[in-house]
Amino acid sequence: MWFQTSCDLAFDVIEPTPFVLMLRPRSGPQQWLAREEYRLVPSVPVSEFTDVYGNLCQRLIAPPGHFSVHTAAEVMISDRVERAPGAPFVQVQDLPDEVLSYLLPSRYCESDRFYNMATEITAGQLLGYDQVSAIEDWLRNRIKYLPGSSNYPASAIEVNNRQSGVCRDLSHLGIALCRSMSIPARMVVGYLYELEPMDMHAWFEAYVGGRWYTFDATQAGLRNGYIVIGYGRDAADVAVYNQFGLPVTITSQDIQVQRIDAQS
Amino acid sequence: MWFQTSCDLAFDVIEPTPFVLMLRPRSGPQQWLAREEYRLVPSVPVSEFTDVYGNLCQRLIAPPGHFSVHTAAEVMISDRVERAPGAPFVQVQDLPDEVLSYLLPSRYCESDRFYNMATEITAGQLLGYDQVSAIEDWLRNRIKYLPGSSNYPASAIEVNNRQSGVCRDLSHLGIALCRSMSIPARMVVGYLYELEPMDMHAWFEAYVGGRWYTFDATQAGLRNGYIVIGYGRDAADVAVYNQFGLPVTITSQDIQVQRIDAQS
Amino acid sequence: MWFQTSCDLAFDVIEPTPFVLMLRPRSGPQQWLAREEYRLVPSVPVSEFTDVYGNLCQRLIAPPGHFSVHTAAEVMISDRVERAPGAPFVQVQDLPDEVLSYLLPSRYCESDRFYNMATEITAGQLLGYDQVSAIEDWLRNRIKYLPGSSNYPASAIEVNNRQSGVCRDLSHLGIALCRSMSIPARMVVGYLYELEPMDMHAWFEAYVGGRWYTFDATQAGLRNGYIVIGYGRDAADVAVYNQFGLPVTITSQDIQVQRIDAQS
Amino acid sequence: MWFQTSCDLAFDVIEPTPFVLMLRPRSGPQQWLAREEYRLVPSVPVSEFTDVYGNLCQRLIAPPGHFSVHTAAEVMISDRVERAPGAPFVQVQDLPDEVLSYLLPSRYCESDRFYNMATEITAGQLLGYDQVSAIEDWLRNRIKYLPGSSNYPASAIEVNNRQSGVCRDLSHLGIALCRSMSIPARMVVGYLYELEPMDMHAWFEAYVGGRWYTFDATQAGLRNGYIVIGYGRDAADVAVYNQFGLPVTITSQDIQVQRIDAQS
């Protein structure tokens, strides 16, 4: 399946402002970038680096005035998101080294505080994929998904207290619950085709049965159309943009995902 | 200056238990490992990997029964810990790529919530090293250092609420305050010569004037004798040991740091 | 300065054939990728990884029949290639760790055999940039540049024997001469605007005065328009494509570099 | 099985001389470093880094006069070196990304020139492990192993011409033959228990059946007691020491490997 994605951001900037952006999807096991575009107005020098999670990050200094960022991509993804009911829990001693850090608590996923709750939610489930499915279902049924309701990430504890959140927040709680039972889990930020309302999206992945699987409590069921921009431990690692210094005003944000028949 | 360090841990283990240990100091710009020892009783297979911060981590499965870990090292460190009053703040755009992640909030350093407090504490200071010194002084004077008072890491918010903590906790608050003002800061775990009472220690480093500098609010003033075991964003990244599964009992823990005249 | 580059390759493939391609330029200190395209006909799954030099490599299996690869990019580079006559030799002990491997001999740069020759060529020069300039001049004057004359890389020894070669071969000899005097040197493959005849190009970089500088003995003088695709120790590391198994026939290769006024 | 290894090197140095040493074995899948020692006389500052192959390298400046390096280790290795007759060839498309670079030709392994010869030597063998075994046998029978006969590495072409070489040289030819048939192969330097005469040793590994296996044409048959110091593409990558500037004189070199009953 081929998709055309785009993200247009516009800012009002007061003083020269350093930005770190994460807006360039990478080709990887699950997707292939066939075309890509990254335009800045006004044009300023940019440098790019790879962070510890393998994401491409763009650094620049936005000049005072109107500043806009346009990115677009043509991406091929596989025809369906894989599910694997019954996929077994991987013993900690058998996890690949690079997966271990996704067992640790992080800024917005206080997994050290959720063991009892996770045990209750997953009672009676087969260890592994089915536990994560139970968590995803529980989130879907119990935590109210309120897209656009918040600009600041809420941590798993906060989400659990207020019983509602945006996609990012639900993911935080899902991740914290998984990690509390020694299931590695990570945050994913990206695009989702036919997301309503259209926006940047966040979901989570859990490592069971020897690989990462996609989970998303904000949708009625797991469907296709996930395009990854970045991975991290939680929202702190995968901000689409971080700016430093005096706050800038974001004046518009437009996200598009279209299905295309084949590579144009 | 040469030091001999050792760490002896003993556990009672109920079932085969996966551990990830971080007990092998590395040679680096600030220290040279001339001798090193790592003994497990009973002896079990171990594999070692390097985490994303560059720390060496040892993975093993502890068998049921008594299990003990002995590590020791002879380390050369430079004759004094460097201070640099006046060293300037580094603009975010001039930070090395690999330092940027130390600006982000992390599990126990909710730096996104401390900007106002940090501004007050550092009012009137030159930007950079002197701001961090002011934070260190403030911690030393306001937060009661209670070694051995807690087994669980407290986050910066929690430490600030309870106004006391162990070395790790004070560091969390120091790090959160630095990062809130766009000064990269990281947690360090290791040994400190003549620490009272002797134990594993934690302190923090801040990146100003183009390099990392050592800060420690638990001591009356900055002195020598810091030997690094690991770096990370906060205590979640630099646990001396992480165990998974049924909790084990730690039956003894003995830490030693001795000055030696020269390499034996 | 903005450029539009493209590379079109077409193959006749007999059996399913694994390829590793290196055709995706990366954004970095010297260039910014604003638009990029990568099209395969027929479309096949591709995975991408980063090699030890930081290059992006694409892996795929070409199906039997006609197979073509089209890549294109819009790239901004700085307005002129920097020269630095007088830039000093960097003592080995002061080289960054990651530069050290560019001192070692490699497949096509037998630097362990060129010390005497390099000493003669650079006699009387200031240590550093001027030595490399002398090597570049010597290559320009003594080794006949015969574009298109060869399909197989020639090693420095071979080039020196036959006194002629393609761009890649001259670079091998230049690199070997530099390394023999403890000046780190590396191969670069990419595009050069107004190269005659137009083709993929190869040149070399030497590390003096604390950074990498561009050298190219195939051109009358150093001019602008270098767009980097990959870095390596020599041609073995930076093949635009490597295929494995039964040899495929390359039926056409078309390279284009156009100047564009600004980002379209 | 536990071993005690040591390496003592002594040099006469004329002027301050930069060294890069590779004398610190690492714990990994095949071995565990339980004790380790690294002593320099006179003591000088050392910094350590990890190269692209994962080896630990020590950088220092040797002062004029006598300079000596003593390293020692206690290492546990598994009880026997694994063999796997019949282990299958791994198709290039199925190789892990990080293994691919071991298919390329390198300084002393001109694998691009050995395809026909490799085909003859391995005629009739099952693809994979058995091909490498046939190469190892061929080397053992045809290339005279002359320990101590040379100080300079010979490339595969040179070894094949002179039909003799030291351990390093035989490995170069073995590696080149493997790679010419798309079997990844790498150089290993380290210790071998009961090597006659005792010295640093070099052997090679080939990647078949999904992992690396040990091969050594210098011994009558594959036996136990291999302790790894470093991996690389060939001898250029794994020199126990590289020195730069005026040549130093090595005045003594003493290597020891002893079996010990258990960790002392």
Contacts of D70 in chain B (CB under 8 A): none
Tell me the torsion sign for CA atoms A212, A218, A223, A225: negative
The answer to whether C58 contacts chain A (CB < 8 Å) is: yes
- Mean local confidence (pLDDT), B238-247: 92
Measure the CA–CA gap between C243 and C212, rounded to whole angstroms. 31
Which tokens in the block code for residue A172?
């935080």
May I ask the CATH class of domain A92-223?
alpha beta
Give residue-wise pLDDT tens across range A218-228.
999 888 899 99
What stretch(es) of chain C map to CATH 2.60.40.2250? Answer: 2-78+240-260
The answer to whether D55 and D231 are in contact (CB under 8 A) is yes
Beta-bridge partner residues of A62: A17
Element (H, E) at B31: strand B31-41
The more confident residue out of A264 and B155 is: B155
What stretch(es) of chain A map to CATH 3.10.620.30? Answer: 92-223
For the whole model, what pTM was predicted? 0.92
Q: How confident is the model at residue B264 (pLDDT cuts 50, 70, 90)?
A: low
Measure the CA–CA gap between C234 and D108, rounded to whole angstroms. 14
Q: Give the pLDDT score at D263.
A: 57
Give residue-wise pLDDT tens across range C48-65.
999 999 999 999 999 999
Q: Give the pLDDT score at C223.
A: 87
Least confident of A44-53, B130-139, D155-164, D176-185: A44-53
Q: Give the pLDDT score at A222.
A: 81
Share of chain B above pLDDT 90, in %: 90
Give residue-wise pLDDT tens across range C196-250.
999 999 999 999 999 999 999 999 988 889 999 999 999 999 999 999 988 999 9
Reduced to 3 states (helix: H, G, I; strand: E, B; else coil), residue A131 is helix
Asked whether residue D211 carries a pLDDT value surpassing 80, the answer given is yes
Q: Give the pLDDT score at D159.
A: 97
Q: Give the pLDDT score at B148.
A: 84
Contacts of A23 in chain C (CB under 8 A): none
The answer to whether A264 contacts chain C (CB < 8 Å) is: no
Measure the CA–CA gap between B136 and B217, rounded to whole angstroms. 5
Q: Give the pLDDT score at B263.
A: 57
Which tokens in the block code for residue D79?
């009880």
- Mean local confidence (pLDDT), D221-246: 93
The more confident residue out of C261 and C32 is: C32
Query: Which amino acid, D68?
Result: S
Least confident of A167-181, B158-172, C76-90: C76-90
Core vs surface per residue A136-161: b (16+ CB within 10 A) or e: bebbbeebebeeeeeeebbbbbbbbe
- Mean local confidence (pLDDT), C18-25: 96
C222 CB-near residues (< 8 Å, 6+ apart): C81, C83, C214, C215, C216
Backbone angles phi, psi at A97, to 5 degrees: -50, -45
CB pairs < 8 Å spanning C and D: 67
Give residue-wise pLDDT tens across range D97-110.
999 999 999 999 99
Query: Which amino acid, B28?
Result: G
Asked whether residue B120 carries a pLDDT value surpassing 60, the answer given is yes
Please tell me the distance in Å from D71's CA to the nearest CA on chain B. Answer: 9
Q: Give the pLDDT score at B117.
A: 98
Backbone angles phi, psi at B193, to 5 degrees: -60, 135
CB pairs < 8 Å spanning A and B: 67
Give me chain A's average pLDDT, please.
95
The answer to whether A257 and A4 are in contact (CB under 8 A) is yes
Which CATH number describes the domain made up of B92-226? 3.10.620.30
Measure the CA–CA gap between B11 and B255, rounded to whole angstroms. 15
Say whether domain C2-78+240-260 belongs to CATH 2.40.40.20. no
Contacts of B20 in chain A (CB under 8 A): 100
Measure the CA–CA gap between B167 and B157, rounded to whole angstroms. 15
Report residue B6 CA to chain centroid gap. Answer: 16
Contacts of A43 in chain C (CB under 8 A): 76, 262-263
Contacts of B152 in chain A (CB under 8 A): 112
Beta-bridge partner residues of B56: B50
Give me chain C's average pLDDT, please.
95
| Second CATH level (architecture) for the domain D92-232 | Roll (3.10)
Measure the CA–CA gap between B177 and B134, rounded to whole angstroms. 11
Phi-psi region of A135 (alpha: psi -120 to 50; beta: other; left: phi over 0): alpha
Asked whether residue B119 carries a pLDDT value surpassing 70, the answer given is yes
Could you tell me how many helices (H) and strands (E) chain A has, helices first?
Answer: 4, 14
Q: Which residue of A has its CA nearest to C29?
A: A47
Classify burial at D253, counting beta carbons within 10 Å of its beta carbon; exposed 0-12, middle 13-18, buried 19 or more: middle
Beta-bridge partner residues of C261: none
Touching D: B residues 6-45, CB under 8 Å = 26-29, 32-39, 43, 45
Q: Give the pLDDT score at C80.
A: 85
Residue with tokens 């690949």: A96
Asked whether residue A79 carries a pLDDT value surpassing 90, the answer given is no
Reduced to 3 states (helix: H, G, I; strand: E, B; else coil), residue A225 is coil
- Are C51 and D101 inside 8 Å of each other by CB? yes
Q: Give the pLDDT score at A263.
A: 57
- Mean local confidence (pLDDT), D222-234: 94
Contacts of D152 in chain C (CB under 8 A): 112
Measure the CA–CA gap between B148 and B199, rounded to whole angstroms. 9
A94 CB-near residues (< 8 Å, 6+ apart): none
- Are A35 and C37 inside 8 Å of each other by CB? yes
Asked whether residue C264 carries a pLDDT value surpassing 60, the answer given is no
Chains that touch D (3 or more CB pairs under 8 A): B, C
Asked whether residue D61 carries a pLDDT value surpassing 90, the answer given is yes
Measure the CA–CA gap between C125 and C127, rounded to whole angstroms. 6
Give residue-wise pLDDT tens across range A144-162.
999 988 888 999 999 999 9
Give me chain D's average pLDDT, please.
95
DSSP type of residue D78: -
Please state whether the peptide bond connecting residue C63 to the residue before it is cis, i.e. omega within 30 degrees of 0.
Answer: no
Give residue-wise pLDDT tens across range C121-160.
999 999 999 999 999 999 999 999 999 888 789 999 999 9
Give residue-wise pLDDT tens across range B44-68.
989 899 999 999 999 999 999 999 9
The answer to whether C145 and C203 are in contact (CB under 8 A) is no
Measure the CA–CA gap between A5 and A9, rounded to whole angstroms. 14
Q: How confident is the model at residue D111 (pLDDT cuts 50, 70, 90)?
A: very high
- Mean local confidence (pLDDT), D202-213: 97
Tell me the torsion sign for CA atoms D72, D213, D149, D155: negative
The answer to whether B52 contacts chain D (CB < 8 Å) is: no
- Mean local confidence (pLDDT), D106-126: 97
What stretch(es) of chain C map to CATH 3.10.620.30? Answer: 92-232
10 Å Cβ neighbour count for B70? 17
Shortest CA distance to D257 belongs to which of D85, D73, D5, D71?
D5
Q: Give the pLDDT score at D28.
A: 84
Longest pairwise C-alpha distance within chain A: 58
- Mean local confidence (pLDDT), D180-186: 97
Asked whether residue C171 carries a pLDDT value surpassing 60, the answer given is yes
Degrees, nearest 5: CA angle A40-A41-A47 = 35
Strands (E), chain D: 2-13, 17-24, 31-41, 47-50, 56-62, 65-77, 144-145, 164-165, 185-192, 201-208, 211-215, 226-232, 241-243, 249-260
10 Å Cβ neighbour count for B22? 21
> Do chain D and chain B touch with ≥3 beta carbon pairs under 8 Å?
yes
Q: Give the pLDDT score at A127.
A: 97
ipTM value of the model?
0.91
Q: How confident is the model at residue B246 (pLDDT cuts 50, 70, 90)?
A: confident
Asked whether residue C263 carries a pLDDT value surpassing 70, the answer given is no
Q: Which residue among C35, C38, C39 sits closest to A37, beta carbon to beta carbon?
A: C35
Q: Give the pLDDT score at C233.
A: 97
The answer to whether A217 and A174 are in contact (CB under 8 A) is yes
Give me chain B's average pLDDT, please.
95
Q: Give the pLDDT score at B151.
A: 79
Please state whether the peptide bond connecting residue D42 to the residue before it is cis, i.e. omega within 30 degrees of 0.
Answer: yes
Please tell me the distance in Å from D20's CA to the nearest CA on chain B. Answer: 14
